[in-house]
């Protein structure tokens, strides 16, 4: 139960070359026979063998077939009297475990009468005693035995080499994985499952079998996942020349899963949420998420599995890189430049609303952390999303002539990375070195040691820009400077390497120049002369670095950028800044919210624009979230922010009423359902129009639009349109919302993933006078609610505590009391899920009173509970520090 430090890394004292596992699967008592071939690591001093094990019953230990002495201490099996010398020896460990009682969903567990495993990061030790660390890679040979009627399908990693019947109605299957792997990539599945199958021939001419396994009733919802898998395979071959290295690639869906999915070698296990889709039950967002998560897990097959992490501090080596790869995949699949830009904006929005606050709060940590108490707490937006931005900056910094984006240079770096490290467990340094070495002379290669501060220093850098215009000489200068506030354990920061793509526009909005500037010092000044008039700077185009850009844009400049910038990211950003200026003004001044004409006209121009994509219009018209606004303030009054944002939304609803009507008519019919980005964008904008039209009806009392919305809800031919209509009624608090919610429940009572949406919509609805908490409490009593199912717990409890600041932060502190009780209740069931919920109050120190004091008290109450998990303890201890 001690803090683990990166600096303490030592290679293992023993290697495990091969593992033979034999499972007798039984929900109450599963027997696991584990035969390993080990040898001492000659590079390490002779010492005892310490195998990790958790919640196991140990029955027998044999060394080379003989009984031996052993000790059990602190969840370790310690063997001191092992054969001397470097010769391999055989160790046999026989244990039992209880999958049906496993509510943590780590290790081997039962869900809907089937067996599943989850081993990353340290779940394999809940299956058998092992060196549960990623730098120990072994060959696996796995036999599964189980009752044939109850568990007709028996799966593990690799190739099925043998199967047959056994006495007593039982059967067996034996799987051999042709690739060596760390134990966190082990998986088994057993149960009543059916598969969609697809045979493919890849570019090299090799044949492969692809399978998507689900529960029998769900086969009709697997087409999109299979298509996404085929697209992923083709993309990785095309862009990075990385082929599928297995004869068989399987995806299995389970409804009880702690996160999104898991990249086990050849046997990915997925949350049903990221597999199952039909137009009747899944939204466009679900379709897009499935595509990206299927891609993500598939891309891990190379980045993570073929080359893995030396230790868990290197987690971003595989996660940051694989998120970067899945983001690029989604962009490439989106097609046209404008659709790519929409994806980019969405990714940046996630980074800024989730990762920036993390980097400014008590859990802030570098992309490569230096210490942890519980590794599961470090599967964070920093490791994943900021890690992806670090990889993206590398790509940007290897750009060259004929390769303006750095794609070719980056692909060369990837090739070198695999040439050097295939089959190894390596570090983030090894990765960065390969990308740099493949691009000698690039800014990345020149600046590599300094660039790697992105891995070692936490916190979001601030990039300040100040411009100066000398009309007499036609000279424009832009002074850039950087700083980064202290984070826990890091009081001082050295300057980062910040790639800044900069464009200049003239007063009519025509582009004058565009180029990449790399800031490496604390400050630096760019000068351009020979200009006819003062230019408008478009700074940080495409969001080339994960920084907070501070520049005192005037409204006039922002309006020019919004109307004319050729960089779609900064075009969107201009609208965000216009909205933020206004929101912050109203929040700080307490003035009555009244939207000014220039802002309204700019929004109208976007809505009515003849050529802009609907998806882009939807992003521009979406006001910055309450969470993002809170980050812009030193002291946060969540109710004030909520009230101002709602009032601004109402302002846009009423001022643009006719425009919303027009937009709705233009976008409401998208024909036969297809989840492509263009028609998805049109559905999103139609949904947004409905919400605003219903909001406007709230003040006018006009029943027409709520009525039309209800009709659309009833007639909808797909889940996106149906859900958006329902959400519009809920958002405006109309009386038609209640019957619509009831009929939605009745329609989908047998669709777990749709019920999750039903819970989430109600828990995340705009708060009116404190009405949401009672609804949430009531829904906890609903027969369909189940705290043990992570998806359901997230849909109700997280939607309220983490995604509904206006409902959660109550002056009477009842939201915090509710949070505290749920964290403690969940911790006894599933610490990983509980620790995620615990983070809902990360930013409590920024709150104004009375919220601040009450939040502190609630966190302290959790911290005072004696038998907390390591997961929750780490989060609350850091929060109070």
Cβ-contact 524, 499 below 8 angstroms: no
**Measured distance CA(837)–CA(814) in Å, rounded:** 16
Hey, which residues between 847 and 866 contact ligand B3K (CB under 6 A)? Answer: none
The one of Zn ion, ligand B3K, none whose footprint includes residue 311, by CB under 5 to 8 A per kind, is: none
The one of Zn ion, ligand B3K, none whose footprint includes residue 120, by CB under 5 to 8 A per kind, is: ligand B3K
**Measured distance CA(471)–CA(169) in Å, rounded:** 90
For 126, the token pair is 């809940």
Hey, which residues between 430 and 459 contact ligand B3K (CB under 6 A)? Answer: none
The one of ligand B3K, Zn ion, none whose footprint includes residue 259, by CB under 5 to 8 A per kind, is: ligand B3K
* Of residues 128 and 271, the one with the C-beta less far from Zn ion: 271
Give the 3-state secondary structure of residue 475: strand
* Of residues 319 and 874, the one with the C-beta less far from Zn ion: 319
* Of residues 263 and 659, the one with the C-beta less far from Zn ion: 263
Give backbone dihedrals phi and psi of 658, rounded to 5 degrees, phi first.
-70, -30
Q: Does 262 bind ligand B3K (CB under 6 A)?
A: yes
Q: What's the min distance (Å) between Cβ of 343 and Zn ion?
A: 18
* Of residues 386 and 712, the one with the C-beta less far from ligand B3K: 386
For 815, the token pair is 């939201």
Nearest alpha-carbon partner for 364 in 348, 389, 381, 347: 381
DSSP letter string, 500-559: EEEEEE-TTS-EEEEEEEEE-SSEEEEEE---SSPPEEEESGGG-SS-EEE----HHHHH
Using CB under 6 A, which of 125, 296, 839, 878 touches ligand B3K? 296
Q: What's the min distance (Å) between Cβ of 259 and ligand B3K?
A: 5
**Measured distance CA(316)–CA(622) in Å, rounded:** 31
Q: Does 122 bind ligand B3K (CB under 6 A)?
A: no
Q: What's the min distance (Å) between Cβ of 169 and ligand B3K?
A: 35
* Of residues 26 and 319, the one with the C-beta less far from Zn ion: 319
* Of residues 303 and 396, the one with the C-beta less far from ligand B3K: 303
Cβ-contact 100, 112 below 8 angstroms: no
CA distance to 250, 558, 645, per residue, from 684 (Å): 33, 25, 20
Q: What's the min distance (Å) between Cβ of 204 and Zn ion?
A: 26
The one of Zn ion, ligand B3K, none whose footprint includes residue 376, by CB under 5 to 8 A per kind, is: ligand B3K
- Give the distance between the most distant pair of CA atoms in the chain: 96
Q: Which residue is catalytic, options 20, 120, 122, 297?
A: 297
CA distance to 116, 241, 615, 668, 722, per residue, from 664 (Å): 45, 44, 13, 5, 15
Q: Name the residue with tokens 């001022």.
A: 655
Cβ-contact 499, 393 below 8 angstroms: yes
Judged by phi (left if over 0) then psi (alpha if -120 to 50, else beta), residue 79 lies in: beta
Using CB under 6 A, which of 20, 52, 54, 120 touches ligand B3K? 120
Number of H helices, E strands in the chain: 31, 32
The one of Zn ion, ligand B3K, none whose footprint includes residue 330, by CB under 5 to 8 A per kind, is: none
Number of residues in contact with ligand B3K, rule: CB under 6 A?
12
Q: What's the min distance (Å) between Cβ of 387 and ligand B3K?
A: 11
**Measured distance CA(446)–CA(311) in Å, rounded:** 28
Hey, which residues between 379 and 398 contact ligand B3K (CB under 6 A)? Answer: 379
Hey, which residues between 241 and 260 contact ligand B3K (CB under 6 A)? Answer: 259
Q: What's the min distance (Å) between Cβ of 319 and Zn ion?
A: 5
* Of residues 300 and 822, the one with the C-beta less far from ligand B3K: 300
Cβ-contact 834, 787 below 8 angstroms: no
* Of residues 297 and 358, the one with the C-beta less far from ligand B3K: 297
* Of residues 301 and 467, the one with the C-beta less far from ligand B3K: 301
Cβ-contact 397, 520 below 8 angstroms: no
Using CB under 6 A, which of 26, 218, 263, 874 touches ligand B3K? 263
Using CB under 6 A, which of 297, 637, 646, 659 touches ligand B3K? 297
Residue 51 pairs with which residues in a beta bridge?
77
First to last CA, the chain: 18
Q: What's the min distance (Å) between Cβ of 378 and ligand B3K?
A: 9
Q: What's the min distance (Å) between Cβ of 392 and ligand B3K?
A: 17
Return the range that interacts with ligand B3K (CB under 6 A); candidates 189-197, 292-300, 545-553, 620-628.
292-300
The one of ligand B3K, Zn ion, none whose footprint includes residue 379, by CB under 5 to 8 A per kind, is: ligand B3K
Sketch the per residue contact string, 181 through 220, with ligand B3K: x for CB under 6 A, - otherwise: ----------------------------------------
Is 297 part of the annotated catalytic residue set?
A: yes
* Of residues 325 and 582, the one with the C-beta less far from ligand B3K: 325
Q: Regarding beta strands 207-214 and 248-254, do their DSSP bridges make them parallel or antiparallel, or are they unpaired?
A: parallel
For 655, the token pair is 């001022």
The one of Zn ion, ligand B3K, none whose footprint includes residue 334, by CB under 5 to 8 A per kind, is: none
* Of residues 319 and 874, the one with the C-beta less far from ligand B3K: 319
Return the range that interacts with ligand B3K (CB under 6 A); candidates 213-221, 293-301, 393-401, 585-593.
293-301
The one of ligand B3K, Zn ion, none whose footprint includes residue 51, by CB under 5 to 8 A per kind, is: none
Please list the alpha-helical segments (H only) found in 366-462: 381, 387-396, 407-421, 428-437, 443-451, 453-456
Q: What's the min distance (Å) between Cβ of 427 and Zn ion?
A: 17
Give backbone dihedrals phi and psi of 130, rounded to 5 degrees, phi first.
-165, 165
Nearest alpha-carbon partner for 317 in 264, 369, 278: 369
Encode burial over 782-808: b for 16+ CB neighbours within 10 A, e otherwise.
Answer: eeebebebbbbbbbbbbbbbbbbbbbb
Return the range that interacts with ligand B3K (CB under 6 A); candidates 296-304, 385-393, 424-432, 602-610.
296-304
Nearest-CB residue for ligand B3K: 120
* Of residues 20 and 120, the one with the C-beta less far from ligand B3K: 120
CA distance to 229, 516, 542, 544, 757, per residue, from 502 (Å): 37, 6, 10, 10, 41
Query: CB neighbours (10 Å) of residue 520?
Result: 16
Q: What's the min distance (Å) between Cβ of 506 and Zn ion?
A: 44
Q: What's the min distance (Å) between Cβ of 75 and ligand B3K?
A: 18
Binding site for Zn ion (CB under 5 A): 319, 322
Sketch the per residue contact string, 773 through 802, with ligand B3K: x for CB under 6 A, - otherwise: ------------------------------
What long-range pairs does 420-426 form, CB within 8 A, spacing at least 24?
A: 421/307, 422/306, 422/307, 423/137, 423/180, 423/306, 423/307, 424/307, 424/308, 425/134, 425/135, 425/137, 425/182, 425/307, 425/308, 425/309, 425/310, 426/307, 426/308, 426/309, 426/310, 426/314, 426/317
Q: Does 376 bind ligand B3K (CB under 6 A)?
A: yes
Nearest alpha-carbon partner for 264 in 367, 140, 410, 347: 140
Residue 267 pairs with which residues in a beta bridge?
250
Q: What's the min distance (Å) between Cβ of 263 and ligand B3K?
A: 5
Sketch the per residue contact string, 311 through 350, with ligand B3K: x for CB under 6 A, - otherwise: --------x-------------------------------
Return the range that interacts with ligand B3K (CB under 6 A); candidates 47-55, 294-302, 354-362, 608-616.
294-302
Cβ-contact 694, 709 below 8 angstroms: yes
Q: Which residues bind ligand B3K (CB under 6 A)?
A: 120-121, 259, 261-263, 296-297, 300, 319, 376, 379
Catalytic residue ranges: 297
């Amino acid at each position: 139960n001690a803090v683990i430090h990166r600096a303490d890394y030592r290679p293992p004292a023993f290697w495990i070359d091969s593992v033979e596992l034999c499972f007798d699967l039984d929900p109450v008592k599963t027997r696991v026979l584990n035969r390993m071939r080990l040898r001492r690591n000659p590079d390490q001093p002779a010492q005892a063998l310490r195998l990790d094990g958790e919640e196991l019953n140990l029955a027998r230990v044999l060394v080379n077939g003989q009984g031996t002495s052993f000790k059990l201490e602190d969840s370790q099996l310690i063997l001191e009297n092992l054969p001397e010398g470097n010769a391999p020896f055989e160790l046999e460990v026989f244990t039992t475990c209880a999958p049906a009682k496993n509510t943590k969903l780590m290790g081997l567990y039962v869900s809907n009468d089937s067996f599943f495993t989850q081993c990353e990061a340290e779940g394999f030790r809940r299956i058998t005693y092992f060196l549960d660390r990623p730098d120990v890679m072994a060959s696996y040979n796995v036999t599964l035995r189980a009752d044939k009627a109850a568990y007709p399908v028996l799966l593990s990693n690799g190739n099925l080499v043998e199967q047959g019947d056994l006495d007593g109605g039982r059967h067996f299957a034996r799987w051999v994985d042709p690739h060596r792997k760390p134990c966190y990539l082990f998986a088994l599945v057993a149960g009543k499952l059916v598969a969609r199958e697809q045979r493919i021939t890849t570019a090299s001419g090799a044949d492969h079998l692809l399978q998507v396994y689900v529960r029998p009733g769900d086969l009709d919802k697997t087409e999109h996942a299979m298509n996404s898998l085929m697209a992923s395979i083709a993309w990785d071959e095309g862009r990075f020349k990385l082929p599928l290295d297995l004869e068989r690639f399987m995806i299995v869906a389970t409804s009880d899963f702690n996160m999104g999915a898991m990249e086990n070698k050849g046997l990915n296990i997925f949350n049903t949420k990221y597999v199952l889709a039909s137009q009747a039950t899944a939204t466009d967002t679900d379709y897009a998420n499935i595509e990206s998560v299927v891609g993500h897990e598939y891309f891990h097959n190379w980045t993570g599995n073929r080359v893995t992490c030396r230790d868990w501090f290197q987690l971003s080596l595989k996660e940051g890189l694989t998120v970067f790869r899945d983001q690029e995949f989604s962009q490439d699949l989106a097609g046209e430049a404008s659709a790519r830009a929409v994806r980019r904006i969405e990714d940046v929005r996630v980074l800024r609303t989730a990762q920036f606050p993390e980097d400014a709060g008590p859990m802030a940590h570098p992309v490569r952390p230096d210490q942890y108490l519980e590794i599961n707490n470090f599967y964070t937006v920093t490791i994943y999303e900021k890690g992806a931005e670090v990889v993206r900056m590398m790509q940007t910094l290897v750009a060259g002539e004929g390769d303006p984006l750095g794609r070719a240079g980056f692909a060369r770096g990837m090739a070198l990375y695999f040439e050097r490290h295939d089959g190894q467990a390596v570090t983030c340094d090894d990765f960065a070195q390969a990308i740099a070495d493949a691009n000698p002379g690039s800014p990345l290669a020149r600046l590599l040691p300094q660039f790697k501060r992105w891995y070692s220093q936490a916190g979001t850098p601030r990039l300040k820009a100040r411009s100066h215009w000398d009309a007499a000489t036609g000279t424009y200068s832009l002074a850039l400077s950087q700083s980064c506030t202290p984070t826990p354990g890091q009081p001082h920061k050295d300057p980062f390497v910040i790639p800044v793509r900069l464009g200049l526009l003239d007063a009519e909005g025509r582009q004058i120049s565009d180029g990449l500037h790399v800031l490496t010092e604390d400050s630096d000044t760019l000068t351009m002369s020979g200009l006819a008039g003062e230019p408008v700077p478009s700074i940080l185009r495409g969001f080339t670095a994960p920084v907070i850009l501070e520049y005192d844009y005037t409204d006039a400049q922002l309006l020019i950028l919004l109307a004319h910038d050729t960089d779609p990211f900064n075009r969107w950003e201009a609208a965000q800044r216009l909205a933020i200026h206004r929101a912050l003004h109203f929040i700080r001044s307490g003035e009555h919210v009244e939207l000014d004409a220039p802002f309204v006209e700019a929004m109208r121009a976007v809505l009515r624009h003849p050529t802009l994509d609907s998806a882009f219009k939807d992003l521009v018209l979406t006001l910055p979230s309450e969470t993002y606004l809170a980050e812009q303030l030193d002291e946060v009054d969540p109710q004030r922010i909520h009230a101002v944002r709602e009032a601004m939304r109402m302002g846009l609803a009423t001022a643009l009423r006719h425009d919303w009507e027009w937009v709705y008519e233009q976008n409401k019919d998208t024909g036969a359902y297809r989840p492509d980005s263009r028609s998805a964008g049109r559905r999103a904008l139609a949904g947004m129009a409905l919400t605003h039209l219903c909001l406007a009806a709230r003040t006018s009392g006009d029943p027409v639009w709520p009525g039309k919305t209800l009709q659309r809800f009833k007639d909808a031919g797909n889940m996106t349109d149906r859900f958006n209509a329902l959400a519009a009624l809920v958002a405006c608090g109309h009386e038609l919302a209640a019957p619509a919610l009831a009929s939605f429940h009745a329609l989908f009572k047998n669709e777990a993933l749709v019920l999750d949406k039903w819970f989430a919509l109600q828990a995340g609805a705009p708060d009116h006078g404190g009405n949401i908490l009672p609804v949430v409490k009531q829904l906890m009593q609903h027969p369909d609610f189940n705290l043990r199912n992570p998806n359901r717990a997230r849909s109700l409890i997280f939607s309220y505590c983490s995604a509904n600041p206006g409902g959660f932060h109550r002056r009477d502190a009842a939201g915090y009391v509710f949070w505290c009780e749920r964290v403690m209740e969940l911790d006894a069931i599933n610490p990983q899920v509980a620790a995620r919920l615990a983070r809902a109050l990360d930013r409590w120190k920024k709150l104004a009173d009375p919220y601040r004091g009450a939040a502190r008290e609630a966190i302290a109450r959790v911290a005072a509970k004696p038998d907390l998990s390591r997961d929750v303890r780490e989060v609350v201890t850091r929060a109070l520090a």
